[in-house]
Structure 1
Amino acid sequence: MSTARDSIEVAVPVAVAYEQLTHFENYPQFMSGVMSMAPIDASTAHMVLDIGGTRAEFDARITESRTDEFLCWEAMDGPQVIEALRLEPMAGDMTRVIAELQIDARELMPAEEHAVEVLNRRLKADLKGFKRFCEESATAGIGSTPTKEIKPSPANMPGAKPARGIAHASNERPAQPTPTGGNLGGHHTTERASRSRPVPPHQPL
């Protein structure tokens, strides 16, 4: 296995950089030599690469990830290709991306005498492409931090009044139906019941 390592600083928050890396469909935007990328599911895609003039086709899968910290993908079949990316937050909403690319160069580039040098140039170009893609997407409003799921609640349901409107009406109590018992006290309930019960006619002794 031949290994190339490099890093770059990207002017986006770490959450944005991580989000872009988790979507295989983004990879053709910044990875050199990607001929096609067809997502299969959330963590797998069919990838066709041109590596040093050699065509490599395989299913790639994200095998390990830690949110906003680390992501690793590798080829599940075909040639051995593994890329690990570590993200480090920096001041000013910057992110350092540290990448390590491992490829079976003897299989993919058997005639290339300087395989490691080729991989280093390729990885450097990929990181520069990733920086450009992230920063341009963020400028266009595409690379924003993903919105967290909001579970439905009465305040979020369609047609519900906003909290601001409810606060203005804090001194206005909506009309409530008369309680059927308990809330007014026992003697009130008995008195109301006695008034409403019909009085039987007087029976002579």
Structure 2
Amino acid sequence: MSTITESVDVHVPVSRVYNQWTQFETFPMFMEGVDEVRQVDDTHMHWVTSIGGVSREFDATITEQHPDERVAWKSTSGPAHAGVITFHRLNDGTTRVTAQMDIDPDGFAEKAADKLGVLDRRVKGDMHRFKEFIEQHGFETGGWRGDVPPPGSIA
């Protein structure tokens, strides 16, 4: 299992950055290798990705989500992975977005990509493309402000 951590400072207020991140179906616009994300309901998504010419489909569940703070998920099918995106207000107009992911590559292409640092570079590129996307748009394309408590917590 590999852990990837990447941060980027976005010159947009935290609520707008968070709102955009919750628009999962826009991920293919700035994430390399993400062909489609379909949000099934508030906490379930279906992904179609490709890496090294290999296409994969998997489902993921949001395990925790708090507006302007964090979105955590884990895969429920396909390649094993989990992660959290955190949002840190640096000032009124700047937000630090940090992605931390644990990935267990599945198959030869993914394992080779991991060993060669392709996955690290892809996440870094995705974060920078997200920064450009939200900064250039000047506004978020939508937002979901619901709260998903962590598993086992009392709501």
Count of aligned residue pairs for this structure pair: 145
Indicate the structure (1 or 2) with the bigger Cα radius of gyration. 1
Cα deviation digits, residues 107-134 of structure 1 (max 9, x gap): 4636517536111101101101110111
Asked if residue 56 in structure 1 is aligned to residue 53 in structure 2, the reply is no
| 1-structure distance, mates of 2:48, 2:108 | 13
| 1-structure distance, mates of 2:57, 2:108 | 11
Across the aligned residues of Structure 1 and Structure 2, the Cα RMSD in angstroms comes to 2.5
- Conservation of the 8 A alpha-carbon contact between 2:23 and 2:142: no
Change (3 A) 1:45 1:106: closer
- Conservation of the 8 A alpha-carbon contact between 1:16 and 1:144: no
Asked if residue 143 in structure 1 is aligned to residue 126 in structure 2, the reply is no
1:25 aligned counterpart, secondary structure: helix
Report what 1:41 is aligned to.
Answer: 41
Cα deviation digits, residues 139-172 of structure 1 (max 9, x gap): xxx32886x9xxxxxxxxxxxxxxxxxxxxxxxx
Report what 2:102 is aligned to.
Answer: 102
1:106: how far off? 4.8
Cα deviation digits, residues 32-88 of structure 1 (max 9, x gap): 101122221123221111134332211122111121111112221111122311111
Report what 1:171 is aligned to.
Answer: none
| 1-structure distance, mates of 2:142, 2:93 | 12
Change (3 A) 1:145 1:90: farther
Asked if residue 3 in structure 1 is aligned to residue 6 in structure 2, the reply is no
Report what 2:120 is aligned to.
Answer: 120
Report what 1:85 is aligned to.
Answer: 85
Report what 2:150 is aligned to.
Answer: none
| 1-structure distance, mates of 2:25, 2:119 | 22
- Conservation of the 8 A alpha-carbon contact between 1:82 and 1:102: yes
Moved runs in structure 1, 4+ residues, more than 4 A? none
| 1-structure distance, mates of 2:95, 2:134 | 11
Q: TM-score if structure 2 supplies the norm length?
A: 0.81
1:109 aligned counterpart, secondary structure: helix
Report what 1:161 is aligned to.
Answer: none
Matched-pair identity in %: 36
- Conservation of the 8 A alpha-carbon contact between 2:52 and 2:110: no
1:105: how far off? 1.9
Report what 2:149 is aligned to.
Answer: none
Letter in 2 for 1:20: Q
Structure with higher RCO (Cα < 8 A, 6+ apart): 2
Change (3 A) 1:21 1:113: closer
Which structure is higher in strand share?
2
Structure 2: gaps of 5 or more residues: 146-155
Letter in 1 for 2:63: T
| 2-structure distance, mates of 1:130, 1:113 | 22
| 1-structure distance, mates of 2:111, 2:140 | 40
